[in-house]
Amino acid sequence: MAKPPRNPTSGILFVDKPQGITSHGVISRARKSVGTRKIGHAGTLDPMATGLLVLGVNNATRLLTYLVGLDKQYTATIRLGASSNTDDAEGELSETADAAALAAVTDDAIAHAVANLTGAISQRPSSVSAIKVDGRRAYTLARAGEEVVLAERAVTVSAFEVLEIARGEFIDVKVRVDCSSGTYIRALARDMGEALGVGGHLTVLRRTRVGPFSVERASAVDEDLETKLVAPAVVARVLFDTVDLDDEQAADLAQGKQIALEPQGEGAIAAINAEGRLVGLLEIVDGRARILSNFRPDAEPAAPENLPTADGELAPEEGTPNNG
Q: Cα separation of 299 and 74, whole Å?
A: 34
- Burial degree of 182 (CB within 10 A; 0-12, 13-18, 19+): middle
88 is catalytic: no
Say which residues have a Cβ less than 8 Å from residue 70's Cβ, sequence separation at least 6.
Answer: 42, 181, 210, 211, 212, 322
Catalytic residue, from 16, 46, 87, 178: name it.
46
Contact between 110 and 174 (Cβ < 8 Å): no
Strand intervals (E) in the chain: 11-17, 39-41, 50-57, 72-80, 119-123, 132-133, 136-137, 153-167, 171-179, 200-210, 213-214, 219-220, 241-244, 259-260, 269-272, 278-285, 288-294
Beta bridge partners of 52: 16
Active site members: 46
